[in-house]
């Protein structure tokens, strides 16, 4: 039976710290008037010291799960799209997985700059449509402010921080993510990048002195690319979904520049009343801009059950993506009762306890002597524990579990993992007005 990937939960996290155009014009050769007229941005939010890409992703994810009434342990996969991840690795998604106690979930980060959220949504829905997953948590989270050069007026006033998360769930009812279109043109890679910190230019005194760990952008080039691609890819996504442009209820574009958005909506023939924008408040939050905008559109009552939404992202790569989604969930959100909030509190405290226990266990395993006094056993050694005991000494174990004397023996059939249990899915049945 066909599986459709429905959006059943949504959540956002916006840092409290507001930075206005006036604040920026105090230390930079710019003005409120210039920023507003050229971009549409009035203010943005910057993360405080204790807020990071992971903490904001976690907060947005918890809210999305709460709305979906889905237990973290039911999630199959977590994808975090970000151009400002917590660290180069491990994946921010793994930190989210640990913090929310999603003990059955796979987790990875996805890098496609500002188009990343559409890529992540596309991957998540494809996993559901293929039957490989039932519940996927898709997050866009950014602390772009940590990668901005305070002396570069071409980037600093444009960006902001925040996070947005969606829960996708498999349903038999047609709807949800109807189509996705992705694209990339790496010949324009140099127009928008963070040049240092990778294998080409590892961090050094030189990269720091020259601010190469900060974002660099050729605004005009990106502008030209964006105005060309946005409308075009939105149209392609509609064609792929078999949805007429006139039937689109809401256009939710990447919030980079109001002039780019106006140009795309003009190309598509979509009136202002069907375009959602919030960049005047948050600036460009990169991968977080589309999910934050979607959350706010829902909160503002701009999205109703069965509405058809088009979302379009573009950015560094150069890369772009668009999706058509048929909304299937009732709005607005009804605040949870005290007992539910208590239960939720307990679930996340339990995740913390579990995480601390796993860390302690790992630490103990590494320092405590084993029965044979030889310290920690590798997983291969543990598997061949019988031979280990028979011989009474520690043999060298190769990666496939054989001792050196056994390496010529044909490989055994690899060990397979038992099927994981079906996830427990707890979702409210859509009912209007709830």
**Footprint of ligand UT7 (CB under 6 A):** 30, 34-35, 38-39, 114, 153-154, 157, 192, 217, 219-220, 222-223, 226, 256-257, 284, 315
Residue 238 appears among annotated catalytic residues: no
Q: How far apart are CA 31 and CA 394, in angstroms?
A: 71
Question: Residue 135 corresponds to which tokens in the numbers above?
Answer: 């519940």
Question: Residue 123 corresponds to which tokens in the numbers above?
Answer: 């991957």
Q: What's the closest the beta carbon of residue 153 comes to ligand UT7, in angstroms?
A: 4
Residue 322's closest CA among 310, 333, 334?
310
Task: Identify any residues that bridge with 19 across adjacent strands, giving them in sequence order.
Answer: 44
Q: What's the closest the beta carbon of residue 42 comes to ligand UT7, in angstroms?
A: 14
Q: How far apart are CA 385 and CA 391, in angstroms?
A: 10
Q: How far apart are CA 34 and CA 122, in angstroms?
A: 36
Q: How far apart are CA 19 and CA 30, in angstroms?
A: 14
Closest CB to ligand UT7 among residues 40, 72: 40
- Closest-by-Cβ residue to ligand UT7 is 219
Q: What's the closest the beta carbon of residue 315 comes to ligand UT7, in angstroms?
A: 4
Q: Active site residue: 21, 257, 278, 284, which one? A: 284
Task: Identify any residues that bridge with 78 across adjacent strands, giving them in sequence order.
Answer: 107, 137
Q: Active site residue: 114, 214, 238, 295, which one? A: 114
Closest CB to ligand UT7 among residues 38, 240: 38
Q: How far apart are CA 364 and CA 375, in angstroms?
A: 10
Residue 114 appears among annotated catalytic residues: yes
Q: What's the closest the beta carbon of residue 319 comes to ligand UT7, in angstroms?
A: 10
Q: What's the closest the beta carbon of residue 184 comes to ligand UT7, in angstroms?
A: 14
Do 60 and 52 contact (CB within 8 A), yes or no? no
Residue 218 appears among annotated catalytic residues: no
Closest CB to ligand UT7 among residues 15, 316: 316
Helices marked H in 26-153:
32-39, 53-68, 92-100, 116-129
Closest CB to ligand UT7 among residues 11, 253: 253
Q: Active site residue: 6, 171, 191, 254, which one? A: 254
Q: How far apart are CA 207 and CA 214, in angstroms?
A: 9
The residues carrying an active-site annotation are 114, 254, 284
């Amino acid at each position: 039976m066909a599986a459709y990937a429905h959006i059943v939960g949504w959540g956002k996290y916006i840092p409290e710290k507001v930075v206005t155009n006036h604040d920026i014009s105090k230390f930079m050769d710019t003005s409120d008037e210039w920023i507003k007229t050229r971009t549409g941005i009035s203010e943005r939010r910057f993360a405080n010291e204790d807020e990071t890409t992971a903490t904001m992703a976690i907060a947005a994810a918890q809210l999305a799960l709460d709305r979906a009434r889905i237990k973290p342990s039911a999630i199959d996969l977590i994808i975090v799209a970000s151009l400002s991840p917590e660290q180069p690795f491990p994946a921010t998604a793994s930190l989210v997985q640990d913090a929310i106690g999603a003990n059955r979930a796979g987790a990875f980060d996805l890098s496609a700059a500002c188009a990343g959220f559409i890529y992540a949504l596309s991957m998540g829905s494809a996993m559901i449509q293929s039957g490989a997953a039932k519940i996927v948590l898709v997050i866009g989270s950014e602390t772009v402010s940590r990668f901005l050069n305070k002396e570069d007026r071409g980037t600093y006033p444009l960006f902001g921080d925040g996070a947005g998360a969606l829960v996708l769930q498999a349903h038999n009812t047609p709807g949800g993510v109807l189509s996705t279109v992705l694209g990339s043109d790496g010949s324009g890679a140099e127009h928008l990048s963070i040049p240092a910190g990778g294998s080409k230019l590892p961090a050094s005194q030189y990269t720091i002195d020259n601010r190469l760990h900060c974002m660099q952008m050729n605004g005009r080039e990106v502008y030209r690319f964006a105005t060309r691609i946005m409308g075009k890819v939105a149209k392609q996504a509609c064609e792929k979904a078999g949805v007429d442009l006139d039937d689109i209820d809401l256009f939710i574009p990447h919030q980079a520049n109001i002039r780019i958005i106006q140009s795309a909506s003009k190309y598509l023939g979509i009136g202002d009343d069907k375009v959602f924008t919030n960049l005047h408040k948050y600036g460009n939050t990169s991968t977080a801009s589309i999910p934050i905008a979607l959350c706010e559109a829902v909160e503002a009552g701009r999205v109703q059950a069965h509405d058809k939404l088009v979302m379009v992202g573009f950015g560094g790569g150069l890369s772009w993506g668009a999706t058509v989604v048929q909304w299937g969930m009732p709005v607005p959100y009804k605040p949870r009762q005290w007992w539910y909030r208590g239960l939720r509190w307990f679930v996340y405290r339990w995740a913390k306890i579990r995480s601390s226990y796993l860390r302690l266990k790992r630490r103990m395993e590494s320092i405590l002597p084993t029965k044979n006094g030889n310290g920690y056993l590798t997983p291969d050694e543990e598997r061949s524990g019988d031979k280990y005991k028979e011989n009474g000494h520690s043999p060298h174990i190769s990666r496939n579990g054989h001792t050196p004397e056994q390496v010529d023996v044909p490989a055994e059939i690899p060990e397979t993992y038992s099927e994981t249990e079906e996830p427990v899915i707890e979702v409210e049945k859509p009912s209007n007005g709830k």
